[in-house]
Amino acid sequence: MSPRNPFRPTFGASPHHWAGRQTILDDFREGIADGPGDPHRSLIISGARGIGKTVLLTELEDIAAEAGWIVLRATGREDTVDVLVDSTIPEKIRQLDPPATRALTGVGVTGLGRIEVDRIAEDKPAPTLTSRMRELLSLLRGAGVLITVDEVQDADPDALSALANGYQDLVRDDEEVALVMAGLSHGVGQLLDLPGTTFLRRARRYELGPLTDTDAAVTLRETAESGGLPFVERAVPAAVDIARGYPYLVQLVGYLAFRTAARDGSSAISRSAVEAIREEAVETMGVQVHHPSLKGLPPAQLNYLQAMSDLVFDVGDDAAAVSTSEIAAELGKTPNATTDTRGKLLERGLIDAAGWGRVAFTLPYMANFLRGGGRINRIS
Ligand SMILES: Nc1ncnc2c1ncn2[C@@H]1O[C@H](COP(=O)(O)OP(=O)(O)OP(=O)(O)O)[C@@H](O)[C@H]1O
Ligand SMILES: [Mg+2]
């Protein structure tokens, strides 16, 4: 039987061997221990697609859970606050304090009991995030509650300000609460500019960048070894080179190389097994990351990226920084006429400023993908 592949190139799937991000984990652990008001209890994590936001949220949730906290997970893709108020928090309350143990009038007279309970509920003011949270906290005897919100870039601005206000009330009253939000850099930036979210602007912000080569190497080495099929030492730098510190690629490169070696019946992952999967890794990155990142991009922005990728290709280095005036020239425009487009691409996190008058692609292999016409050529 071939060994089980220990790599996890799947969005949202926590890696078997964690790489980097140590400062955030340590700060948060301290924040939880230090008590109400600690600044490391309110975090905002942003970064490009596949950089590791969701798995970092999971890791932070684990830290809170280890400290005996309750974790409430929400996402910006649904009615964030309504779901918390109407189902997530009541569900936790029911788990901690089952209705059967509450002294209800009319218990035993099923029909009548139901009517009485309903009537009481009608007279009460509608629950809010703050009131629900207070109810939950009162059952916890000193333990805290962590709320995490993933995909905040998709959140409804009103829901986000309701969340910010509710959370602010709890913090002001020294309740044991923490809030961690994660999303794409562009969307997070926009949401924090909204008038209703002033409070969130004071949260600690972490912009996730690539992993260091050392961290990537350690993760590749340890993960493969734990699966019973280690990298030969010479193969590690080759894998690190393909992965470019991008966490999704670290998992993908490891996964594909491990699979190749296992299919060949090898006892280790050789350098040639790694080289053999380079192309497939880059293509899969196109399907999973580049293609969705470019979806719905206005033509002017796409043209800008195309021109940029031509110049990057001339340099021969996918990560090269190119001059913005050369991009403008390539497009047959004056530099001024492209400023607006460049700004939008920077905001979207598709390109980064790389020194004065220069830009580079944020995601590895983007230039490569655009050179292929920005289409998915082959789905393997
Ligand atoms: N610190 C890390 N160490 C090792 N692998 C990681 C790390 N962070 C992320 N990964 C891996 O990278 C991949 C992407 O992670 P994740 O789903 O968290 O990205 P994301 O930023 O949430 O992406 P998206 O913006 O699409 O939601 C997963 O396969 C995950 O296992
Ligand atoms: Mg995610």
pLDDT class of 3 with cuts at 50, 70, 90: confident
Amino acid at 220: L
> 232 is in which domain, residue-wise?
213-287
Q: 287, 321, 348: which is the final residue of a domain? A: 287
Q: What pLDDT is recorded for position 275?
A: 96
Of the ligands numbered here, which is closest to the C-alpha atom of 153? 1
CA atoms of 182 and 46, how far apart (whole Å): 6
Give exposure, 283-321, as e/b (b: 16+ Cβ within 10 Å).
bbbbebbbeebbeebeeebebbbbbbbbbbbeeeebebb
**Distance separating the N- and C-terminal Cα atoms of the chain:** 24
Of the ligands numbered here, which is closest to the C-alpha atom of 24? 1
Q: What is the largest CA-CA distance in the chain?
A: 82
Asked whether residue 380 is assigned to any structural domain, the reply reads: no
Residues 256 and 362 grouped into a single domain: no
Q: 173, 208, 243: which is the final residue of a domain? A: 208
**Closest protein CA for atom 13 of ligand 1:** 248
Q: What is the mean pLDDT of residues 282-305?
A: 93
Q: What pLDDT is recorded for position 297?
A: 93
Query: Which of 5, 7, 8, 11 best tests ligand 1's pocket when mutated (most atoms within 8 Å of CB)?
Result: 11
Ligand 1: list residues with CB < 6 Å.
Answer: 8-15, 18-21, 47, 49-55, 184, 219, 247-248, 250-251
Residues 55 and 169 grouped into a single domain: yes
Q: In this predicted model, what pLDDT tens digit does every residue of 34-74 receive, in sequence order?
A: 989 888 999 999 998 899 999 999 999 999 999 999 999 99
**Ligand 1 atom at minimal distance to the Cα of residue 12:** 17
Residues 108 and 126 grouped into a single domain: yes
Asked whether residue 12 is assigned to any structural domain, the reply reads: no
Please tell me the total count of domains within the chain: 3
* Spacing, Cα 182 to ligand 2 middle (Å): 8
Q: Let me know the angle formed at the C-alpha of 72 by 67 and 77, rounded to the nearest 5 degrees.
A: 145
Q: What's the count of helices (H) and strands (E) in the chain, helices before strands?
A: 18, 8
pLDDT class of 305 with cuts at 50, 70, 90: very high
Residues 217 and 244 grouped into a single domain: yes
Q: In this predicted model, what pLDDT tens digit does every residue of 272-291 receive, in sequence order?
A: 999 999 999 999 999 999 99
CA atoms of 360 and 347, how far apart (whole Å): 13
Which residues fall within 8 angstroms of residue 6, CB to CB, at 6 or more apart? 16, 223, 224, 226, 227, 254, 258
Residues 239 and 349 grouped into a single domain: no
**Ligand 1 atom at minimal distance to the Cα of residue 182:** 22
Q: 287, 308, 340: which is the final residue of a domain? A: 287
Four-residue CA torsion sign, 62, 65, 69, 75: positive
Residue 334 belongs to domain with CATH number:
1.10.10.10
Q: In this predicted model, what pLDDT tens digit does every residue of 352-368 receive, in sequence order?
A: 888 889 999 999 999 99
What's the mean pLDDT when you consider all of the chain?
88
Residues 66 and 144 grouped into a single domain: yes
Which residue in 244, 174, 254 sits closest to 210, CA to CA? 244
Residues 188 and 148 grouped into a single domain: yes
Q: What pLDDT is recorded for position 188?
A: 87
Residues 272 and 304 grouped into a single domain: no
Q: In this predicted model, what pLDDT tens digit does every residue of 116-162 receive, in sequence order?
A: 444 455 567 888 999 999 999 999 888 999 999 999 988 888 888 88
- The neighbour count for residue 124, using CB atoms within 10 Å, is 8
**236 or 185: which carries more pLDDT confidence?**
236
